[in-house]
Amino acid sequence: MQTKRVTFGGYGVPALLVAPQLAVTLVFFIWPASQALYQSVLQQDPFGLKTEFVGLANFRRVLADPAYLDSFAITAVFSLVVAAIALGVALLLAAMADWVIRGATAYTTLLIWPYAVAPAIAGVLWWFLFHPTIGIFAYVLSRFGIAWNHLLDARQAFLLIVIAAAWKQVSYNFVFFLAGLQSIPRSLIEAAAIDGAGPVRRFRTIILPLIGPTTFFLLVVNIVYAFFDTFGIVHATTGGGPGTATTILVYKVFRDGFEALDLGGSAVQSVVLMAVVVALTLVQFRFIERRVHY
């Protein structure tokens, strides 16, 4: 871990400074999280009246459940697709905004606000719009001969949560891409233009490599977002169906633990999720540390 070359002395002051955060973290995070970990080796009824230590039985049960393994695959595909769409659309819009220069701020205003919409509300909005009977989008699609029924069609249901999730994330990506594009020295691009490189070629050969790090950072952020912050969207739109086609991991943890009261099974899933978080965090952390160096 990096440190400053120049630091202040003393132990008391820093101890006092970290105390509030440590206290809050220990009481409201580490302790409950360790309770969740402990729960994963217990067999307990919901009310906590009977508790039995069962070792790794819960792990064996969950990891042998084909529905859980499916959920892993669904989540992986979902995260990648959401990230790809949210990044692609944002990059396209940012490149356009960078090109027009005039009005870029106004376009930012127009594109940035969906960031503020709660996932739970975004879910309600999209559910309303794609409702097979009353939704206007479903109606428009049916005019084009596409029967929209995400209640039964797994691919359409998947598409629905992808659209809703990507919609919310485009704003965030746009801000970063635009900033990245605008920080590229004009002289560099002008030099290329003088050499006869057209806008498309310049974009491919100069701009894309230069915003590579931003893209990678955003990729990680988007995957994390799709993994963990899309619970509200799934909850409000598809409820995980049809079948288990849109049951992503976080939603499954919630449903098994919170609705079905399968505390042990849900705790096992939390443990697996924690492992995923740690892995993703390490990737991001290494990457960011590296960026700070250059």
Partner 1 sequence: MWIRRFAAGVAAVLAAVITTPAGAVTEIQWWHAMGGALGQKLEKIANDFNASQADYKVVPVYKGSYPEAMTAAIAAFRARQNPTLLQVFEVGTATMMAARGAVYPVYELMKNENEPFDPKAFLPAVTGYYTDTNGNMLSFPFNSSTPILYYNKDAFRKAGLDPNAPPRTWADVESAVKKLQAGGTTCGLTNEWPSWVLVENFSAFHNIPIGTKSNGFGGLDTELKINNPLVEKEIAMLADWQKTKLYDYGGRTDKAQPKFFSGECGISLGSSAARANILANGKFDLGYGMLPYFADVKGAPQNSIIGGATLWVLKGRPAAEYKGVAKFFTFLSRPETQAWWHQNTGYLPITLAAYELSRSQGFYDKNPGTDTAIKQITLNPPTENSKGLRFGSFVQIRDVIEEELEQAFAGKKTAKEALDAAVKRGNDLLRAFEKANM
Partner 2 sequence: MVENRPILTVTAHATLILGAALMAAPVWLAFVASTYPGADFVAGRLPLWPGSQFFANYSAVLSEGLSNAGAPPIAGMLINSAIVATLIAVGKIAVSLLSAFAIVYFRFPFRAAAFWIIFLTLMLPVEVRILPTFEVVSQLGLLNTYAGLSIPLIASATATFLFRQFFMTIPDELTEAARIDGSTPLRFLRDILIPLSRTNIAALFVILFIYGWNQYLWPLLVTNDQSYYTIVMGIQRMARAADATPLWHLVMATTMLALLPPVIVVLAMQRLFVKGLVETEK
Binding interface with partner 1 (CB under 8 A): 43-50, 52, 61, 67, 131-134, 149, 151-154, 239-244, 255-256, 258-262, 265
Angle between helices 263-293 and 212-228 (to 10 degrees): 170
User: 140: number of CA atoms within 13 Å, CB side?
Assistant: 5
For the bound state, the minimum distance from the C-beta of residue 251 to partner 1, rounded and expressed in Å, comes to 12
Name the β-bridge partners of 52: 43
Stretch that binds partner 2, among 74-82, 150-158, 223-231, 240-248 (CB under 8 A): 223-231
For the bound state, the minimum distance from the C-beta of residue 153 to partner 2, rounded and expressed in Å, comes to 21
Choice from 54, 61, 80, 114 touching partner 2 (CB under 8 A): 114
Tokens of 3: 């440190």
Tokens of 258: 């919170």
Q: Which of residues 149-188 bind partner 2 (CB under 8 A)?
A: 167, 170-171, 175-176, 179-180, 186
For the bound state, the minimum distance from the C-beta of residue 189 to partner 2, rounded and expressed in Å, comes to 5
Site string for partner 2, 40-69 (x = CB under 8 A): ------------------------------
- Which one of partner 2, partner 1, none is in contact with 190 (Cβ closer than 5 to 8 A by kind)? partner 2
Measured from the CB atom, the residue of 132 and 213 that comes closer to partner 1 is 132
Stretch that binds partner 2, among 51-59, 73-81, 126-134, 204-212 (CB under 8 A): 126-134
- Which one of partner 2, partner 1, none is in contact with 45 (Cβ closer than 5 to 8 A by kind)? partner 1
Measured from the CB atom, the residue of 232 and 265 that comes closer to partner 1 is 265
Q: Cβ(83)–Cβ(125) under 8 Å? A: no
Residue of 184, 173, 166 lying closest to 99 (CA atoms): 184
Cα 247 to Cα 84, 116, 236, distances in angstroms:
20, 25, 12
Measured from the CB atom, the residue of 13 and 64 that comes closer to partner 2 is 13
For the bound state, the minimum distance from the C-beta of residue 17 to partner 1, rounded and expressed in Å, comes to 32
Q: Cβ(169)–Cβ(151) under 8 Å? A: no
DSSP letter at 198? Answer: -
Q: Are strands 51-53 and 42-44 parallel, antiparallel or unpaired?
A: antiparallel
Distance (Å, whole) CA 81 – CA 164: 12
Interior angle at CA 194, CA 188 and CA 197, nearest 5 = 80
| DSSP E strands, 47-136 | 51-53
Choice from 29, 56, 67, 204 touching partner 2 (CB under 8 A): 29
